[in-house]
Amino acid sequence: MSSGQRVWLDVETRRRRIILALLVLGLLGTIAGFVANLLGPTPEVAGGISGGIAFLALGGVAILFVVRRISNRTLGWAVLVVGSLLTWGTLFHGLYLAGDDPGAADAVLTILHWVPVLVVFAFLAFDGALAIGVAAALVASTMLFIGPHAWFGVGGGGVQLTPTYVVQMLVAYVVTVVALSFFASLQRNLAAWRDTAREMHTLAHTDALTGLANRRAAHEVLGREVARAARYDRELAVLMLDIDRFKVLNDTYGHPVGDRVLVALAERLRAHVRASDLVARWGGEEFVVVAPETPMPFSLQLAEQLRAQIAKDPFLDGHRIAVSVGVASFRDGDDVDALVARSDAALYRAKAGGRNRVSVVEDLTNTDRERLGASGAAE
């Protein structure tokens, strides 16, 4: 699983947990309202029945959500439908049907405080314009239900919602929607910036042709592995591979064929190393394998297996290639440059010794130093 996928899953997991917490809060509030309506000093049968129905509906949704039978979006619609029906029913009953019943008045005031919770649900369950549209619809429908009562005195009874109160409540609702819209937009922008940064990092550390790690990425991994080997006295091997007579292949068959050979070689190298090993394109037709926890005998065995397998099986339309391999192992006092210099010197010796072979360098000779210095390699 890629890091991008892991991040996305983490975001979705956090979202589900927040939604579940709000759902549990809604269930607790529904229970409290149900008990207050039926057992309070002024029992409200209609409110108790509606509360019981809402509790059963939300409880069923919560169970389905916990066992992952429904998605965040489906949960959002389910909760919003149940919450909206409960809100509209409570408002209509308390404002226009209940008369002077104080229990109905309390239910109206209580349900008005739960509208922002539904707005939060909308922004958790949906994204972008849909979340804003659903939240605005919730606010607008609430105002439509209480407007005739507040401005024209329709209904009356035990509920006294003045125009001033309704305007203040509307302002609070609108501020909630605007604030949530702002933070949702900010979150989307941050996610886009994070994805862009991750993509740029990937591009900067990946070879465009083969999909392997590039030289920069290999150098960073080598730095970490050398530090770990030095600190914990661990084994570390570096294999430097170079395609023999690659220029002849390019000149004979053209660069497209050469590129296809490089891609096929990259796939073959990846398939024949451990998951803990790093295969990178060092440059041109040169590749490097970083093999942690690999003593010299095993690194030589790995190098020989890679060399033999590549020489044995043809590449693409019958083209055969061979590789020379230089091997070096970490020693006390090594840094990345010293380790790479020895593997590069070993590769040069394999080339000079006839190609299609494996060589190892324990110590650099003056000839090795002169050649590395002439090629710009650091010791």
Active site residues: 285
Query: Nearest Cα to 112, choosing from 194, 64, 168, 153?
Result: 168
Locus of tokens 């108790």: 48
Sheet with 323-329, side-by-side order of all strands? 278-283, 286-292, 236-243, 323-329, 358-360
E strands, 107-220, in order: none
Would you state the structure tokens that stand for residue 126, as one six-digit string? 């949906």
Residues 6 or more apart whose CB falls under 8 angstroms from that of 150 comprise 161, 162, 163, 165, 166
Which residues face 278 on adjacent strands? 290
- Alpha-carbon dihedral sign for residues 227, 228, 231, 236: negative
- Residue 91 φ/ψ region, left for φ over 0, alpha for ψ in the -120 to 50 degree band, beta for the rest: alpha
